[in-house]
Amino acid sequence: MTKLKTFLAPVGRGLVKLGKALMLPIAVLPIAGLLLRLGQPDLLNIAFMAAAGQAVFSNLPIIFALGVAIGFAEENHGAAALAAYVGYVILTSSLKVLDPSIDMGVLGGIIIGVTAGLLYNKYKNIRLPSYLAFFGGRRFVPIVTGAASLLIAGAAYFVWPPIARVIAAFGDWTITSGNIGLFFYGFANRLLIPLGLHHILNNLVWFQFGEFEVVKEGVATIMRGDLTRFFAGDPMAGPFMAGFFPIMMFGLPAACLAMISAAKTARKKAIGGLLLSMALTSFLTGITEPIEFSFMFLAFPLYVLHSLLTGLSMVIMNVLEVKLGFTFSAGLFDYLLSYGLGKNGLWLLPVGAVYGLLYYVLFKWAIVKFNLQTPGREPEEFNQEADMPLSVPAGKDEKEQAAPAAEPSCQAQTSSVPAPDDHSRAAEYLRGLGGKDNIKTIDACATRLRLEVADDSVVNAPALKACGARGVIKAGGGAVQVIIGPEADLISDEIKKYLK
C-alpha cells in the first residue's frame, strides 16, 4: 500500500497541475465566443468579427499547447510557449508526411504543452561547452523540445491510431448513450471538483468528443468537442453544457438562500452577505466553486446530493431537447450569448425555477434534519478560532494574549512569517500558508490557489479562512489548494510579488 501511495502521489500532483494549466487556454474562449456570436447575421452581421472569433476555435490545439506550456513552466516563462509552438509545428508537419489521416487535435496540443513546460523546467539553466554557449540556458529549450516533438511524432505514427479509436469509442458511447452518458458526466464533473480534475474530463467532452465538418470556400475543417461544435453551428451539439444552466443560475443560488435561512440567528447577517455575493456570482458568471466549497467538507452529504442533481439536470434538459452552450460557464451572460445559436432555450426558465425550489427545500430540510455544519452553523469554538489570532508575538503578557486582536490574523507557527505589523493581503495569506520558506511554487486557476509547499502540516486552514478563503485541500506530497473565488489569480500575483 505504501509503495502504491508513493507511486500515485506524483501522478496525482501531475494531474492537478494539468488541471490548473488548462485554465489559461480556456480563458481565451469568452472573447472568441463573443466575437463569433456578435458577428453572426442575426446580430451585428459583421463578417470579419465572426471570422476573428472562428479563428480561435479553429486553432484550439496550438492555443492549448502554448497555454499548457506556460502553466507547467516555472515562473510561467514565455520561453516555454515559444518551445511549445516550435514543438507543435514539428509534430503536425511530421505527421502530415507520416500519415495525413492522423489528427491529434487538442490532445496533441496538450501533450506538446506538457512536454515543453517540463523540458523548460529541466533545461532552463543548462550550461553547454564554451563554443556552444550561445545555445545554452533558455535558448536550449526550443531545441530540445523540437527534438522531443519529432520523437513524439514518430511514436504517434504507431500508437495514436489505436488510442484514437479508444477515445472515439468512448466519446461515441458518451454521446450515443444519451441520458446515461449525460448523467454520468454531470455527476462525475461535480465529484471531481475537490481534486481539481474536472477540467481534464471537461476538455475531453468539450474539445475532443464528436465531430462536425465545416466547409468554407471549398475547404473542409473538422470541429471536435461539444463546445467547439456548438459554436460552429452543429445542431446536435450542446447537451453536455445545457444541463449546467439550471444548476448554476438557479440551484446553487437557492442553496445559498437555504444556508442563510438555516444559519444561527446571530450569524445570519454576517453569513448572508457572503453567501448572497456568491449566489450572484454563480447566477451571472457560472462560477460556483466558492459556494460548493462552503458546504463540500462541512456537509459532504449535501455535496453528493448536489452532484446527483447535476447529473439529473443534464438528463432533464436533454429530454426537453434543450441545446445551450457557453464559452466560460453556465451563467446569465453565456445564456444570453448562446441563446440564438441554441434550441428550446426558454425551457431553462421553468426548469430553473423548479430546480431553485428543489435545492432550497432539500438543502434546508437536510441541514436542519441532520444538523449539518453549513456556514453559520459551525460550533462556537470553530468561529472563535477563525476570528482570533493564531499566534502572538513574543513579549506580550498574558492579559494581552487573552485579548482579541483588532482584526483577524492569519499568522501560523513558523519562523519565516512576515512581520507582525504587516497586514497586507499577501502577508496575511503567507502567514496562513506557513511563511515564505514553506512556499515552493504558487499559481492560480479560476477560483483557487494551487501550491507546492515544503510542509503542508503548517498550512493553517482556519487562519486562511480568516483571510477570506472558502476552503483548503491538502492533496498530499506538499500539494495544497486554497479555494478563494474569482480573486484567486490577483491574490496569487500579490503573493508572488511579496515573495520577491
Residue type, 63: I
- Spatial separation of the C-alpha atoms in residues 335 and 415, rounded to whole Å: 50
Listing DSSP states for 13-57 in one string gives HHHHHHHHHTHHHHTTHHHHHHHHHHTSTTTT--HHHHHHHHHHH
CB 107 within 8 A of CB 205: no
Is residue 410 part of the annotated active site? The answer reads no
- Spatial separation of the C-alpha atoms in residues 460 and 437, rounded to whole Å: 15
Residue 210 zone, left/alpha/beta (φ > 0; ψ -120 to 50; rest): left
Q: Tell me which of 256, 410, 445, 467 is the catalytic residue.
A: 445
Distances (CA, A) of 387 to 273, 293, 376, 465: 17, 19, 14, 9
Chain centroid offset of residue 158 CA = 33
Quote the Cα angle for 351-357-359, to 5°. 100
- Spatial separation of the C-alpha atoms in residues 249 and 245, rounded to whole Å: 6
Count CB neighbours of 449 within 10 A: 24
User: β-strand 479-483 against 471-476: which pairing, if any?
Assistant: antiparallel
Chain centroid offset of residue 308 CA = 20
- Spatial separation of the C-alpha atoms in residues 168 and 176, rounded to whole Å: 12
- Cell output for 89: 509545428
Q: Could you give the dihedral angle defined by the CA atoms of residues 334, 336, 340 and 346, in that order, rounded to the nearest 10 degrees?
A: 110
Query: Which residues are annotated as catalytic?
Result: 445
